[in-house]
Structure 1
Amino acid sequence: MANNIHQIDLPKRVIVGSNILQDVGIHISELGLGKRVVIVTGSGITKSYGEEVKQVLVDRGFDVWTINVDRATMDEVERVVGIVREVRSEVIIGVGGGKAIDVAKYSSFLTSTSFVSIPTTPSHDGIASPFASIKDVSRPTSVRASTPNLVIADIEIISRAPRRHIISGCADLLGKFSAVLDWRLAHRLKNEYYGDYAASLALLSAQHIVKYSEWFAMKNIPKEAVRVLVEALISSGIAMAIAGSTRPASGSEHLIAHAIDVVANYPALHGEEVGIGSIIALYLHGRNWKKIKNVLKTIGAPTTAKEINISREQLIQALTIAHKIRPERYTILGENGMTIEAAENVARATSVID
């Protein structure tokens, strides 16, 4: 790193609690972000939450425009950017799940506007990170985006998310165990920058899912557990902001997940695919893959190819191309990846396939 300069851009304010949407205008005003706002939401129930946020802001004298997005694609980003520039918006608010927040934060980055993150589902760790997953930006990985100026995580709303989405968030966090191992490996073998504090923060997020796995195994997941998950997801995002990259949160397990998306066209939730990738990555590292697989089973996350709707052939193909997804990112997959035979042996050894 040139001159050992390391810039860290963190959220200015993070609010976690219940029934806190009505305070969004107060926080935006106190932070001096501006009065002209574009709200980006999804197309389902998140649209109603977006309307709620809009009404709160209008009542406080903000000028507000809303836009609904169906997918996290560059077409949607360009549509949002066009509206932001047309109305001269100062703030972009993402209200919803991964799609709305990713489109909002990348649009914010492209237009140099302030970004506010209001998640309605805990299925991923992009809530507070300065990276976005935009599906058709050259490759299926994360791109640099805005760090949120403000995060408002309403546990009352997030607790209503589908159970599958909550468990997906847990599985995404468990991937930090292999991500940090990969980061350390790249540091040792490639002299890549490694930040121990960011790595420790990411690991702490993962350890909380292990610690509270019995809560997440419950049929009705308690709100206390959802709060633990949300705070862990936020911490993981902040670890990425501190590191200046996705390294503490994304390693070979994410490359495998992205490869599955390439081979099978997004067959499952991102966190579910990461869970499968984590089992395989930890096996390759010779670490505690059985423990993590048991945790995934305990909380009801997929642990086999069949459970994420892909065939054994598709999984094996994904494993053989995973190292090509981000060739500049060194992981346990190495520079040449796995042969078909090796991929099949790993998948069988971990019982990801029969």
Structure 2
Amino acid sequence: MELPRQIVVGEKNIGQVGEFLRSLSNPRKVSIISGKNVKKIIGKEIGQSLKNAKISAVWHLARSNEVKETITIQKKVKSTKSDIIIGLGGGRSVDIAKLCAFNLRKQFVSIPTSASHDGIASPFVSVRGEKPHSLVATAPLGVFVDLDIIKKAPKKLLASGCGDLMAKVTAVHDWELGRDKVGEYYGRYSANLASMSAEILIESAENFSKKGIDVRVIVEALISAGVASCIAGSSRPCSG
């Protein structure tokens, strides 16, 4: 069972990412896989934080999550001999970093800039080849979230995250069906954790309508769902 060692969810704390990495494993060099726009918006602040922590960084820009692109980036990351591989951005960058870390046997840190799915804390990745498919990679050593950045992401991404959480209801029932019909392994704890992630959102819906969306609730629920898949050792509690 591989679980995140440290999870930080804060507000306007992106400038503390260097300290966070130091507390995790004291790296000398990191590779940051990100998108062009994300680097443009927060790259300077992250770079300064890493510099203050005496951590050198190499940036790798991801254009897609296709297999060819992942292989190209992986070769570049390998040549840097980085201690940690960071996925900074949305699903594409986080997934590529996760897969590269797994293949290169390096530590992986997730720094999401949107809350669109539970992959920010799970060991699973989605890649595109001839057909899209999901692979098991590595769970993040740490997850670092700046809620201020998440709030500035397009609203449709947050809506996607809510949809992903709601899907846990049917995913868990689907898993129960597999247990009852074909004798598949069923992990009650991880199933309950995934279900709770959806229940938290459902219970918060009325409050959201009155006081506005609490992004922290959604982010923490997505992280919990990702951890549920780590505990289960499969994507069953989150994807059925």
* TM class by smaller structure: over 0.9
Alpha-carbon distance, 1:23 to partner? 1.9
Q: Does 1:190 align with 2:208?
A: no
Query: Which structure would you say has the larger RCO, counting Cα contacts within 8 Å and 6 or more residues apart?
Result: 2
Q: What pairs with 1:86-235 in structure 2 (closer than 5 Å)? A: 86-136=79-129, 139-217=131-209, 221-222=212-213, 225-235=214-224
Partner SS for 1:10: coil
Q: Aligned letter for 2:112?
A: P
Number of corresponding residues: 240
Distance 1:97 1:179 in 2: 23
* 1:179 and 1:248 in contact (8 A); partners too: yes
Pick aligned residue for 2:4 from 7, 11, 14:
11
CA distance 1:150–1:94, change in 2 (3 Å) = same
Alignment gaps of 5+ in structure 2: none
Provide the TM-score with structure 2 as the length reference.
0.94
Query: Residues 57 and 167 from structure 1, CA distance in 2 versus in 1: closer, same or farther, beyond 3 angstroms?
Result: same
- Aligned-residue Cα RMSD (Å) equals 1.6
Relative distance call for 1:110 and 1:249 in structure 2 (3 A) is same
CA contact 2:18–2:52 (8 Å) conserved in 1: no
Structure 1 residues 205, 94: CA separation in 2 closer, same or farther (over 3 Å shift)? same
Correspondence for 1:52: 45
* CA distance in structure 2 between the aligned counterparts of 1:112 and 1:228, rounded to whole angstroms: 32
Q: Where do 5+ consecutive residues of structure 1 fail to align?
A: 1-7, 252-354
CA shift, 1:145, in A, is 1.3
Indicate the percent of aligned positions where both proteins have the same amino acid.
Answer: 40
Instruction: Spell out structure 1 runs of 4+ moving beyond 4 A.
Output: 215-218
Query: The residue matched to 2:184 in structure 1 has which SS?
Result: coil
Which whole-Å CA distance do the structure 2 matches of 1:93 and 1:50 have between them? 13
Higher Rg: 1
Select between 124-133 and 26-35 the one with higher mean Cα deviation: 26-35
TM-score by length of 1: 0.65
Cα pair 1:130 1:144 within 8 Å, conserved: yes
Distance of aligned partners of 1:191 and 1:47 in 2 relative to their CA distance in 1, 3 Å threshold? farther
Q: Which residue does 2:60 correspond to in 1?
A: 67
- Equivalent-residue separation in structure 2 for 1:98 and 1:217 (angstroms): 27
Q: How do 1:199-278 and structure 2 match up within 5 A?
A: 199-217=191-209, 221-222=212-213, 225-251=214-240
Q: C-alpha distance in 2, partners of 1:131/1:105? A: 8
